[in-house]
């Protein structure tokens, strides 16, 4: 049996756990309520959302889903799977849940690959003119690594990004007969991800990207959330990334969910809870 070269597995850093929960509304039952009853249900739901968005460790947000894939999407960030289960079950305790039908959900955990951390450290050392292979380089590397690791905590443990719109989709890396991401060397993968990240960086002023790992947790390998005040920028960013080899050769995508953010005071608009038409 031929010896096979071991493939180096990249390390990751993990932060908050994420749940994207999508529901459709039972419109027939919802329309059957009186204006007073609907106002009561919406008010209770708004209070529920405000309460769960105010937790010390994590965040919650609601979005109106565009297209017929759903009506409402709740996004939750929490410190543990148990805390996510708690907020998921708490929705069942309010009256709005009587009119919601599960449509889709996705579970993941905010992830930063060491690809990125190592690339940042290397860039900082090059900018400082520290020569590779020297004792000075080793000391500077350890110092810069610790600095960047601390800085990463703000990305691992954060609130849900602002922005009027969200684009959420799951994805995986291809591992078929002709191309297999997981059979490539670390250097090859690192080089591709560096180019991929460079495209994303071009949009950092207009888009906040949250990458969450889900290998062994859900049906795909990552869940990606994009947040922005202009929905067209999602199209431009993703379209440009499709031409990058990390996507064009290796990426497989699941369903896309587009949403409009709704505060606790805006749930009435999300539920079409204005006065009934005569």
Q: pLDDT at residue 119 above 80?
A: no
Catalytic residues: 169
For residue 1, what pLDDT band results from cuts at 50, 70 and 90? Answer: very low
140-157 per-position pLDDT tens digit: 777 777 776 777 888 899
Q: Give the residue with greater pLDDT, 133 vs 54.
A: 54
Classify residue 40: in a domain, yes or no: yes
Q: What is the tens place of the pLDDT at every residue in 218-243? A: 999 999 999 999 999 999 998 888 77
Rounded Cα gap, residues 36 and 165, in angstroms? 30
User: In sequence order, what are the beta bridge partners of 73?
Assistant: 22, 63
Measure CA 269 to chain center. Answer: 24
41 within a domain of the structure (yes/no): yes
Report if residue 65 sits inside a domain. Answer: yes
- 142: in domain: no
CATH number, domain of 56, equals 3.30.70.1030
Is residue 74 situated within a structural domain? yes
pLDDT the model gives residue 153: 86
Residue 266 DSSP code:
G
Nearest to 196 by CA among 247, 272, 134: 247
What range does the domain containing 22 cover? 13-109+262-270
Domain count, the chain: 1
Half-sphere exposure in the Cβ direction for 234 (13 Å, CA): 20
């Amino acid at each position: 049996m031929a010896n096979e070269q071991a493939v180096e597995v990249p390390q990751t850093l993990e932060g908050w756990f994420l749940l994207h929960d999508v529901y459709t509304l039972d419109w027939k039952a919802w329309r059957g309520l009186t204006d007073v009853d609907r106002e009561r249900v919406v008010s209770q739901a708004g209070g529920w959302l405000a309460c769960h968005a105010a937790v010390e460790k994590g965040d919650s947000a609601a979005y109106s889903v565009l297209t017929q894939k759903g009506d409402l999407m709740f996004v939750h960030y929490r410190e543990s799977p148990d805390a996510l289960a708690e907020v998921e079950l708490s929705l069942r305790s309010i009256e709005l849940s009587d009119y919601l039908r599960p449509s889709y959900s996705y579970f993941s955990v905010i992830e930063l690959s060491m690809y990125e951390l190592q690339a940042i450290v290397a860039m900082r050392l090059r900018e400082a003119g520290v020569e590779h292979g020297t004792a000075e380089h080793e000391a500077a590397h350890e110092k810069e690594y610790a600095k960047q690791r601390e800085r990463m905590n703000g990305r691992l443990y954060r609130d849900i990004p602002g922005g009027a719109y969200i684009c959420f989709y799951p994805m995986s890396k291809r591992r078929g007969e002709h191309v297999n991401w997981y059979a490539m060397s670390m250097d090859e993968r690192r080089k591709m991800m560096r180019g991929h990240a460079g495209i994303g960086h071009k949009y950092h002023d207009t888009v906040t990207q949250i990458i969450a790992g889900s290998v062994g947790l859900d049906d795909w390998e990552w869940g990606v959330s994009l947040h922005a005040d202009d929905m067209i920028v999602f199209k431009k960013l993703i379209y440009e990334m499709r031409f990058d080899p990390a996507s064009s050769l290796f990426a497989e995508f699941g369903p896309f969910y587009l949403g409009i953010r709704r505060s606790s005071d805006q749930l009435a608009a999300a539920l079409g809870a204005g006065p009934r038409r005569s």
